[in-house]
């Protein structure tokens, strides 16, 4: 099973983190752990002011959790540990003192939507549709819900969750606050992302760090809330319904 790839480049005080996986940039637990650690380390790097988060290729931005690994979950502790990977990643992004800009070039599903929601500012293309398909496989978007609801509100979150088989287009995502800006193509996205990142990186780092605290006020309980949500998913992933649904989705 591939553990995926992760690389970081630092230029002009901007750290660009690129993750990848052959299965539509999905996340096995090891890649989740490495990305969380990388964000924490860059948050403490005095040479970095801004983080940009992107994925490889020109297909999907992120397909969420690795179905291969989910199918291998055999007990509650193992399942909870896997979903804690998403809890730790979102908390790492939340607590990072540097602003994180998301580059969403393609479709985002499940945990990929949570990743976009945990970014502080998001550039996306018109092809970057979103879907929360978790109910369709017998679980739910429990871990990422606080991050998604924080961005788009409970009503839109509920709409996405209950219409688990339906895509929402990038325009819907922008209108509801998940995306900050959308562009017709990747070229326009990258041009505007580069300009925005450089301007942001030129600002007072202390002011940026204090502003990040303000923007994420009242989320301190996520340190305990998200692991509690991971335990819910860790239990549900063991159900016969979910095992059967995952197998069918893989086909």
Q: What is the pLDDT of residues 30-73, one digit of tens each?
A: 999 999 999 999 999 999 999 999 999 999 999 999 988 998 99
Q: Is residue 236 part of a domain?
A: no
| Percent of the chain with pLDDT strictly greater than 70 | 99
Q: Is residue 245 part of a domain?
A: no
**pLDDT band at 251, cuts 50/70/90?**
low
Which domain CATH number covers 93? 3.90.226.10
Contact 100, 118 (CB under 8 A): yes
| pLDDT tens-digit map of 157-169 | 999 999 999 999 9
- What is the spatial distance between Cα 206 and Cα 218, in angstroms, rounded to a whole number? 20
Contact 230, 143 (CB under 8 A): yes
Alpha helices in 4-144 (DSSP H): 29-43, 67-72, 76-95, 111-118
Residue 205: per-residue pLDDT = 97
Contact 142, 111 (CB under 8 A): no
Q: In terms of Cα–Cα distance, which of 40, 42, 31 is closest to 8?
A: 42
What's the Cα-to-Cα distance from 106 to each of 120, 155, 226, rounded to whole Å? 18, 24, 26
| pLDDT tens-digit map of 177-227 | 999 999 999 999 999 999 999 999 999 999 999 999 999 999 999 999 999
Q: Is the pLDDT of residue 155 over 70?
A: yes
Provide the domain limits for residue 108. 5-187
Q: Is the pLDDT of residue 1 over 60?
A: no
Q: Is residue 73 part of a domain?
A: yes
In a 13 Å sphere around the CA of 228, the CA atoms on its Cβ side amount to 7
Residue 247: per-residue pLDDT = 82
Q: Is residue 88 part of a domain?
A: yes
Q: Is residue 87 part of a domain?
A: yes
What's the full length of the chain, in residues?
A: 251
Q: Is residue 211 part of a domain?
A: no
Q: Is residue 53 part of a domain?
A: yes
Count how many domains the chain has. Answer: 1
| Percent of the chain with pLDDT strictly greater than 90 | 93
Residue 55: per-residue pLDDT = 98
What's phi and psi for 47, nearest 5 deg?
-85, -5
Residue 248: per-residue pLDDT = 83
* Torsion-angle region of 169 (φ positive above 0: left; ψ -120 to 50: alpha; else: beta): beta
Task: Look up residue 77 and give its two tokens.
Answer: 């502790």
What's the chain's average pLDDT?
Answer: 96
Q: Is residue 213 part of a domain?
A: no
């Amino acid at each position: 099973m591939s553990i995926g790839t992760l690389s970081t480049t630092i230029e002009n005080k901007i750290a660009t983190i690129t993750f990848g996986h052959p299965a539509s940039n999905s996340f096995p637990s090891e890649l989740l752990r490495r990305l969380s650690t990388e964000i924490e380390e860059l948050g403490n790097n005095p040479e970095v002011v801004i983080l940009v988060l992107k994925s490889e290729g020109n297909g999907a931005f992120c397909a969420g959790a690795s179905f291969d690994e989910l199918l291998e979950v055999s007990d509650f502790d193992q399942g909870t540990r896997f979903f804690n990977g998403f809890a730790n990643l979102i908390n790492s992004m939340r607590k990072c003192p540097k602003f994180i800009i998301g580059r969403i070039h393609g479709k985002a599903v499940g945990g990929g939507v949570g990743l976009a929601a945990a970014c502080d500012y998001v550039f996306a293309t018109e092809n970057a549709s979103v879907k929360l398909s978790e109910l369709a496989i017998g679980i739910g978007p429990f871990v990422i819900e606080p991050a998604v609801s924080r961005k788009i509100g409970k009503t839109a979150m509920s709409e996405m969750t209950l219409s688990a088989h339906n895509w929402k287009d990038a325009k819907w995502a922008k209108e509801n606050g998940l995306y900050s800006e959308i562009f017709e193509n990747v070229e326009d996205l990258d041009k505007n992302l580069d300009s925005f990142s450089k301007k942001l990186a030129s600002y007072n780092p202390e002011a940026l760090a204090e502003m990040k605290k303000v923007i994420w006020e009242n989320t301190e309980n996520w340190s305990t809330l998200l692991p509690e949500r991971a335990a819910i998913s860790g239990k549900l992933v063991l159900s016969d319904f979910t095992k059967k649904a995952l197998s069918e989705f893989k086909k």
